[in-house]
Structure 1
Amino acid sequence: MTLQTDAGRVSLWQEGLHCDGADCPGDSDRPVLRVAVQGKAGHLLVPALLEAYRRDTGTRLDLALRDATVDDVLDDFPAQPFDLFLSPHPLSARDRDRARAAGLGDLASTRRGQVLAMDALVPVVAAGQQRDSIPIGRLVQRLSGAPLAGAESGGAMKLHLLETIGPDVSWLLPEAARSDTDIIWHRDDEALAAALSADPDAVGLVPAARRGPWKRLALSGPCGLTARATPRTIRTEDYPLTYPVYLYRPPWRPHPAIAGFLDWLRGEAAQLVVRRAGLVDLAGVPIRLEAQGRRLANAIRMAGDEVPLDELQRLAATMDRHVRISNTFRFAPGSTRLSAPSRSHIMLLAKAIRDGRYHGRDILLVGFSDGRGPADANRDLAAARAEAVKEDLMQALGGDLPFNVGLATDAFGEAMPLACDDTPMGQRANRRVEMWVRPRR
């Protein structure tokens, strides 16, 4: 039971309390999950998740769903309370500050924010266009307003975005000051598609889960690497414009049925519903060596003087003995602090290990870095990040690893770049720890 008092909101356990008056809840009243949702996908996803939860657990939990942007949620609080807010992208620094001012605390903290799925922004142009890719540097320039010199600067380009993405895109480019001078906002897919058709120089950015009458482009860089948004590259965050879809909840203790729903969301049944809704789930799936030929070829092609042949041979031999799992862990620049999706991957991996999914397997956590700075220092930092992931995983496991599961680390530094290092987004894609497995020996 939650009460609004002069001292603020107070949550009480209903069990054991006696209440008199017409407004008191009855014993037969079912708890109601109040969810604010931004975007079409959430309106389809949340009811499907709740229905699956009811079917799996037999829990009686009703749903009150409303459409709301993050501004609506913060402006209407506390007059319109909520139990969950589903956002199609992370909160910006401005939104987090507003949430604190409203008395909601840090919604993006580990205890308040839960990664539900993964999505990505994909550049699109009008159907029938001949081009297949766009320099990622040009998108950075238009999103941040930062000047871009050289061949990638190109000519004039109008950037079109859906309103559900904005108006604040600083969550996408936290390293850059934002300028929306060249950004044109659209209310829906139809308006965006019409604008792209009317202007051959126009480029749109849409969530990967959205399908429309447009052509999707790959991202390219001056070093020759390209990246396409696919379920696999989004799941691994190898695609530079990948981002998490979040569930945020207020700081008070939820009803036990709601707490059970939040726990259920971390399981495989919920991830199946996410996948059916068109988003990318967090489940770890195998990626065999045959599917990594392009990565290995890029490692050879991009190797500089500081990445010797014997290191590439060691990389190839290690890849040949293992199968990559899509769980990938990423960090802030120059640190071993895990990102929010990576913390979710840790919890899911720990649960999978406890459930016996890696029975009889050796798990190898392999660190990689971007290419800035000396190769030896990058390899050391990559190794430290791999060890940090191992420590966080052991902590999530309660300090005990099952006797039939092995866990080790390795590092190859800058030896296998996924994107060019000329933009912060490319650098983030390259800073990672991958998970590889093989049968125990």
Structure 2
Amino acid sequence: MLGSKGAAIFAALLLLITPLAATAQDVTLTSRDGGVEITGTLLGFDGEFYRVDTVYGELTVDGSGVTCEGPGCPNLLDFVAEVDFSGSSTMAEVLMPALLEGFALRNGYRVRRSNLDETHVDFFLSDGQTQKTLARFGFRVTTTDEGFADLLADEADIVLALREIRPEERTRAREAGMGDMTDRNRSRVLALDAMVPIVSPGNPVKAISMPDLAAAFSGKITNWADLGGPDAPITLHLPDAGSGLAQAVEDRLLRPVGAVLPDDVVRHRVSSALSRAVTTDPFGLGLVSFAEVGNARMLTLTGSCGFTLEATRRTIKTEDYPLTSPMFLYMPARRLPKLAREFLGYLRGPAAQIVIRRVGFVDQAPEEIPINRQGDRFANAISSAGEEVTLDEIQRMVSTLRPMTRLTTSFRFETGSTRLDAQSRSNVEQLARAIEAGVYDARSLSFVGFSDGEGPAPANLEIARRRATAVRDAVTAAAEAVTPGRVELKIEAYGEAMPMACDDSAWGRQVNRRVEVWVK
């Protein structure tokens, strides 16, 4: 950033490098003392700072320290803040408009929608009293792939994504001077969703295992009879290939078992069309957003050990459901207009969480689950007790947890890694902010580690304890403003004592490896 006080220093540096730029482009910024000129193409103006593409690269310049000349200069009196979003149609068509309406209502703005074409929508925010237009929020309703492409082409400020940024996209963004898009200030989990298998209401199949779901979507199981249904071919339905949800299916369901999608998958541009098609297809099997199931029927996930996992708001929030799918915002290392920054700040608050929940997605606000609402989990613990985990250990766990309630805030790790997954990294920030705000003052938070059942029980117990300690330390480091003694942060570990899913698959083992938060 170039402030007015730094204009002289910056001018000196430029003069040491090369004479003043002489190539005429669409703007020339001149310091108040006339000592430096910056000529280039105006990329943006947020009401305070200019962002200019120059021969020295992209520069951000404090508008109070310069004057602007040229055809690209903005009108300072009638400035309208502009921010462009591109990406997931699910987010652009449903979630973001609802959040903009909530933000406008909270701040006394009026919202006007303008449909430019099939894929471009603008929302204009105006002052509720003067009717003066203050901001334009533009949305390109497309796919996660296209969202990242628009960002790299400098045609979008923020990406709406239903998957994490891929390594090649991260590298190209860094090379383009956008910073590391995985940093905490560059990426954010906006809301939670999940991929859920759906069938027609008349289909007799009620449940499916994760291995069978992967086998069906890789073309290895092609008949419903193999899943306990009628002797009929399975028709597979997915969103468009470039959509984040479809790519998440490949990344998280198929790639771990070395499988790929067959060629005869029926594709749909939006999830709502997918769910309608499966509803009327008696032999259809689809994977769709939890928020857009419609009149189709969700299948419960099951395993050979008898445990079942159903997609609900609570199991998605805790990540107990294995196919959770966070909804991301990705932002490059550049300054956004003040009104856009205020909107992003609103998205972190409790008012936005209410809006997210009302439109059918899963919010991130922590909830407390009393122990008497967790009967299935403790039944799993009892049924899996044996030589490795004794009944005494189960009784110790129940005795410790009985006076507490479980938070929906949970932590899980990337496959084969000690790094927290994306949703859990967001949970670290959410929990730290809640602690800083005094939500848990004079209370005790216990970070409780669990493991899968592979390997010796004592080793698993120690691994679970180390993970719980690591999560506690990460939350402590993030809650910088908390004074010692306000909240008690404890560590507990029970290893493989309370499995959530069967250990017979990589998905089940990943669900079982977790750190829960219990509060007293």
- SS of 1:50's equivalent in the other structure is helix
* Matched residue, 2:119: none
1:15-67 alpha-carbon deviations (Å, 9 max, x no partner): 33311123211223021121113123432322332343344456954311221
**Contact 1:92/1:170 (8 A) holds in 2:** no
Take 2:465 and 2:261, find their aligned partners in 1: how far apart are those partners?
Answer: 39
Return the letter of the residue paired with 2:407. I
User: How high is the TM-score relative to the length of structure 2?
Assistant: 0.76
**Contact 1:196/1:203 (8 A) holds in 2:** no
Q: 1:435 to 1:167 in 2, by over 3 A?
A: closer
Of 428-437 and 51-60, the range deviating more from structure 2 = 51-60
1:181 maps to which of 253, 262, 272: 262
- SS of 1:242's equivalent in the other structure is coil
* Matched residue, 2:193: 119
- The aligned runs of 1:35-434 (5 Å cut-off) are 35-56=85-106, 60-77=134-151, 79-93=153-167, 95-97=169-171, 99-100=173-174, 104-143=178-217, 157-163=234-240, 164=243, 165-167=245-247, 169-173=249-253, 175-181=256-262, 183-188=265-270, 189-190=272-273, 193-194=276-277, 197-200=280-283, 202-333=284-415, 335-398=417-480, 400-434=482-516
Take 2:93 and 2:281, find their aligned partners in 1: how far apart are those partners?
Answer: 31
**Contact 2:450/2:514 (8 A) holds in 1:** yes
- SS of 1:376's equivalent in the other structure is helix
Take 1:394 and 1:334, find their aligned partners in 2: how far apart are those partners?
Answer: 25
**Contact 1:162/1:192 (8 A) holds in 2:** no
- SS of 2:65's equivalent in the other structure is coil
Take 1:312 and 1:261, find their aligned partners in 2: how far apart are those partners?
Answer: 47
Of 417-426 and 155-164, the range deviating more from structure 2 = 155-164
Q: 1:167 to 1:287 in 2, by over 3 A?
A: closer
- Higher RCO by CA contacts (8 Å cutoff, separation 6 or greater): 1
Is 1:11 equivalent to 2:60 in the alignment? yes
1:325-375 alpha-carbon deviations (Å, 9 max, x no partner): 110011124543222211211111111112121122111110011111111
Return the letter of the residue paired with 2:323. L
- SS of 1:300's equivalent in the other structure is helix
Of 83-92 and 202-211, the range deviating more from structure 2 = 83-92
1:31 maps to which of 81, 90, 109: 81
**Contact 1:121/1:205 (8 A) holds in 2:** yes
**Contact 1:193/1:213 (8 A) holds in 2:** yes
Take 2:171 and 2:199, find their aligned partners in 1: how far apart are those partners?
Answer: 35
How many angstroms does 1:122 deviate by?
A: 0.8
How many angstroms does 1:258 deviate by?
A: 2.9
Take 2:216 and 2:174, find their aligned partners in 1: how far apart are those partners?
Answer: 30
Take 1:401 and 1:144, find their aligned partners in 2: how far apart are those partners?
Answer: 53
Take 2:218 and 2:167, find their aligned partners in 1: how far apart are those partners?
Answer: 15
Of 381-390 and 301-310, the range deviating more from structure 2 = 301-310
Return the letter of the residue paired with 1:123. P
Return the letter of the residue paired with 1:27. L
Take 2:495 and 2:219, find their aligned partners in 1: how far apart are those partners?
Answer: 31
**Contact 2:381/2:497 (8 A) holds in 1:** yes
- Percent of paired sites with the same residue: 40
Q: 1:197 to 1:425 in 2, by over 3 A?
A: same
Return the letter of the residue paired with 2:413. F
Take 2:507 and 2:170, find their aligned partners in 1: how far apart are those partners?
Answer: 22
Take 2:489 and 2:152, find their aligned partners in 1: how far apart are those partners?
Answer: 47
User: How high is the TM-score relative to the length of structure 1?
Assistant: 0.89
- SS of 2:58's equivalent in the other structure is strand
Take 2:226 and 2:62, find their aligned partners in 1: how far apart are those partners?
Answer: 60
Q: Unaligned stretches of 5+ in structure 2?
A: 1-49, 110-133
Return the letter of the residue paired with 2:324. T
- SS of 1:209's equivalent in the other structure is helix
**Contact 1:137/1:422 (8 A) holds in 2:** no
**Contact 2:87/2:147 (8 A) holds in 1:** no
Q: 1:168 to 1:51 in 2, by over 3 A?
A: closer
Of 280-289 and 89-98, the range deviating more from structure 2 = 89-98
Return the letter of the residue paired with 1:434. E
Take 1:103 and 1:268, find their aligned partners in 2: how far apart are those partners?
Answer: 33
Take 1:427 and 1:18, find their aligned partners in 2: how far apart are those partners?
Answer: 61
**Contact 1:362/1:407 (8 A) holds in 2:** yes
**Contact 2:161/2:329 (8 A) holds in 1:** yes
Q: 1:242 to 1:73 in 2, by over 3 A?
A: closer
Return the letter of the residue paired with 2:182. A
* Matched residue, 2:38: none
How many angstroms does 1:400 deviate by?
A: 4.2
- SS of 1:260's equivalent in the other structure is helix
**Contact 2:237/2:274 (8 A) holds in 1:** no
Q: Which structure has the larger Rg over C-alpha atoms?
A: 2
**Contact 1:368/1:416 (8 A) holds in 2:** yes
Take 1:112 and 1:244, find their aligned partners in 2: how far apart are those partners?
Answer: 15
Aligned residues between the structures: 435
Return the letter of the residue paired with 1:348. Q
**Contact 2:148/2:159 (8 A) holds in 1:** no
RMSD of equivalent CA atoms? 2.8
- SS of 2:194's equivalent in the other structure is strand
Return the letter of the residue paired with 1:389. V
Take 1:257 and 1:223, find their aligned partners in 2: how far apart are those partners?
Answer: 53
**Contact 2:92/2:139 (8 A) holds in 1:** no
**Contact 1:110/1:340 (8 A) holds in 2:** no
Q: 1:77 to 1:115 in 2, by over 3 A?
A: closer
